[in-house]
């Protein structure tokens, strides 16, 4: 019954072929280190390609007074003081270098007439520091990285699903997985492993992720290897996700739609932001707009399908066609809706995991020797609210740093010690699922899990709901033991969904348990039973398995940065 096993050895294995994984692989290849990048999705269609807004760096091309220190201050302030000041310094200081790398590899940034890189306002930034390429910045970055990786002949395995990171005595020695098309297995031996497999936002019913990405793979792979998860409860809900059609629920409507003058109304036609943020109205921060929309829907003033209206139809047609072309196109394709004439029905959607695997700020190493985590899989930069545009720059800065760290770690290793036992365990796990013929359906269990997270751990949470969520989650977890997995001619998607489900269950547990522990309202985390911010909870919550949540102190903010932290006006700016 055993499928054939491919055995591969490499110095460094990168799991994930989005922006973070590719940037790390490029760094390794440029240093002449043997590297292999593995992704479960085609690399050209990684989640990074969906990022629309832009990428931050204090280049000061538009506002000469901008500095990395001010970028750091804005990031820390927006994080509600939960970001690690060391991580923030590394990213903001290294940002200009990240942009230079992209330019060198041919990234087509929007430019001013004199050739400088154009930068625009985005969210709670003091100055214009978001570089962009139309409203498809992420797609261009991903293309640029794919091209550079191809020039360097970086081997990339698409459609391989990693099920386990292989560890012996807390030292990594590779990973195990299977091919999504033919089911053949992969044993990949590596000195170091870089985990860049995204976040866990797909465990909610409405999300800006596609159905087979961000299911919490990183969380599960890391925890089984011996790592911990930090800030799992801190999830950014984007205010404007589509409700219909069902198969595209959560698809983002760019915040440029509000930035250009879009108006939010409830079912009664009321412009409700005046109740929540009369000064900034629709240009308020993501967490506030999401909370406002959620409250309107919850209190019965939502649209027929449980959303709110976002209306741009009063804007000149030309503005819509030139400034919001992607939004216009998307709505026409998905709903046959002409946004120049009709309002769009939207609701908050799970968008970004601000927490992730526990890593050290300086090199993103984890609790396991030789294992690193980067991108949305890692934690430390965003705290309780991510500054728009910071995720893309994080990929470039830490992709480079971690590539270098993994190269040095591999070079210093005098031997790679393996464990037949760890490998047998990984193999048996796949075998057991492949022969599983239980009555439970993987997809319906996934749906139940998403319903639990949406109902009890969504935009607003409280103790009673979270406890109920934990109880219902335990019931779903018990049923996972009885799933039936049936690969067919189309491939081994069913097996992948079963692993996605295991990952989602672990990520859900971590999220609910840390949300219970954070008895306050801060940034994206709203507790209706604890509506105020609690200064004593200015800590990160670190989860190391069911029932185990510890508080971790956050280092002090350096004086030069602290002096620059102030309220930022968002008047006339694009929000996040």
Would you name the residues annotated as active-site residues?
238, 258
74 by Cβ neighbours in 10 Å (0-12 / 13-18 / 19+) ranks as: buried
Look at residue 523 and give its three-state secondary structure: coil
Calpha distance 497→567 (Å, rounded): 44
CA neighbor of 550 nearest in space, from 232, 202, 205: 232
The answer to whether 573 touches 53, Cβ cutoff 8 Å, is no
CA neighbor of 265 nearest in space, from 235, 301, 236: 301
The answer to whether 256 touches 540, Cβ cutoff 8 Å, is no
Beta bridge partners of 552: 540
CA neighbor of 225 nearest in space, from 470, 557, 545: 545
End-to-end CA distance of the chain: 51
Residue 57 sits at the vertex; the CA angle it makes with 52 and 61, to the nearest 5 degrees, is 105
CA neighbor of 403 nearest in space, from 154, 107, 50: 154
Q: How many CA atoms lie within 13 A of 217 on its CB side?
A: 25
CA neighbor of 346 nearest in space, from 257, 471, 445: 257
Look at residue 271 and give its three-state secondary structure: coil
Calpha distance 119→100 (Å, rounded): 14
Q: What is the DSSP string of 28-82?
A: HHHTT--EEEE-SS-GGG-GGGG--S-EE----SS-TT--HHHHHHHHHHHTTT-
Calpha distance 487→434 (Å, rounded): 8
Polymer length of the chain: 576
Look at residue 304 and give its three-state secondary structure: coil
Beta bridge partners of 172: 167
Calpha distance 21→12 (Å, rounded): 11
103 by Cβ neighbours in 10 Å (0-12 / 13-18 / 19+) ranks as: middle
Calpha distance 145→48 (Å, rounded): 11
Q: What sections of 435-492 are H helices per DSSP? A: 442-456, 463-480
Strand 160-168 to strand 235-242: parallel, antiparallel, or no bridges (unpaired)? unpaired
CA neighbor of 570 nearest in space, from 95, 56, 119, 128: 128
Calpha distance 335→467 (Å, rounded): 38
The answer to whether 84 touches 381, Cβ cutoff 8 Å, is yes
């Amino acid at each position: 019954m055993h499928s054939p096993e491919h055995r591969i050895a490499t110095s460094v294995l990168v799991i994930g072929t989005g922006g973070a994984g590719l940037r790390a692989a490029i760094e390794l290849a440029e240093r002449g280190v043997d590297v292999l990048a593995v992704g479960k999705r085609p690399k050209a269609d990684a989640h990074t390609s969906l990022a629309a807004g832009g990428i931050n760096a204090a280049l000061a091309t538009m506002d000469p007074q901008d500095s990395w220190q001010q970028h750091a201050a804005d990031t820390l302030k927006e994080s509600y003081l939960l970001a690690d000041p060391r991580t923030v310094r590394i990213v903001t200081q290294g940002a200009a270098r990240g942009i230079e790398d992209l330019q060198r590899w041919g990234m087509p940034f929007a430019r001013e007439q004199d050739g400088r890189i154009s930068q625009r306002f985005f969210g709670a930034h003091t100055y214009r520091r978001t570089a962009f390429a139309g409203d498809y910045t992420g797609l261009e970055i991903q293309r640029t990285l794919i091209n550079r990786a191809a020039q360097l002949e970086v081997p990339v395995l698409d459609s391989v699903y990693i099920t386990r990171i292989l560890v012996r005595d807390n030292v990594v020695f590779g990973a195990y997985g299977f091919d999504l098309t033919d089911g053949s297995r992969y044993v990949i031996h590596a000195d170091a492993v870089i985990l860049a497999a995204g976040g866990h936002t797909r465990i909610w019913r409405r999300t800006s992720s596609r159905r087979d990405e961000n299911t919490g793979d990183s969380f599960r792979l890391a925890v089984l290897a011996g790592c911990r998860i930090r800030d799992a409860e801190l999830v950014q809900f984007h205010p404007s996700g589509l409700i219909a059609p069902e198969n595209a629920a959560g698809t983002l409507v760019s915040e440029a739609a509000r930035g250009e003058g879009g108006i939010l109304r409830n079912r009664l036609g009321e412009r409700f932001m005046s109740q929540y943020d009369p000064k900034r109205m629709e240009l308020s921060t993501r967490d506030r707009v999401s909370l406002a929309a959620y409250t309107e829907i919850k209190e019965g003033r939502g649209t027929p399908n449980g959303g709110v209206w976002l209306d741009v139809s009063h804007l000149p047609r030309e503005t819509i066609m030139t400034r919001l072309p992607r939004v216009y196109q998307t709505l026409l394709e998905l709903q046959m809706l002409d946004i120049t004439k009709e309002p769009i029905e939207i609701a908050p959607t799970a968008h970004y995991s601000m927490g992730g695997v526990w890593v050290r700020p300086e090199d993103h190493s984890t609790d396991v020797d030789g294992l690193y985590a980067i991108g949305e899989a890692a934690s430390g930069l965003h705290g309780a609210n991510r500054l728009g545009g910071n995720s893309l720059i994080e990929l470039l800065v830490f992709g480079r740093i971690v590539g270098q760290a993994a190269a040095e770690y591999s070079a210093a290793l005098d031997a790679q010690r393996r464990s037949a036992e760890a490998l047998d365990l990984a193999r048996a796990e796949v075998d057991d699922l492949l022969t599983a013929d239980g009555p439970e359906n993987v997809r319906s269990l996934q749906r139940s899990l998403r319903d639990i997270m949406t109902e009890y751990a969504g935009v607003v949470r409280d103790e009673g709901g979270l406890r109920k969520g934990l109880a219902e989650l335990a019931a779903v977890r018990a049923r996972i033991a009885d799933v039936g997995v049936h690969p067919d001619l189309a491939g081994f998607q069913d097996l992948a969904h079963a692993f996605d489900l295991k990952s989602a269950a672990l990520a859900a547990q971590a999220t609910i348990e840390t949300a219970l522990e954070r008895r306050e309202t801060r940034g994206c985390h709203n507790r209706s039973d604890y509506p105020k911010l609690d200064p004593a909870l200015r800590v990160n919550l670190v989860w190391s398995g069911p029932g185990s949540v510890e508080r971790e102190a956050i280092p002090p903010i350096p004086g030069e940065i602290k002096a620059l932290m102030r309220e930022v006006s968002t008047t006339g700016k694009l929000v996040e």
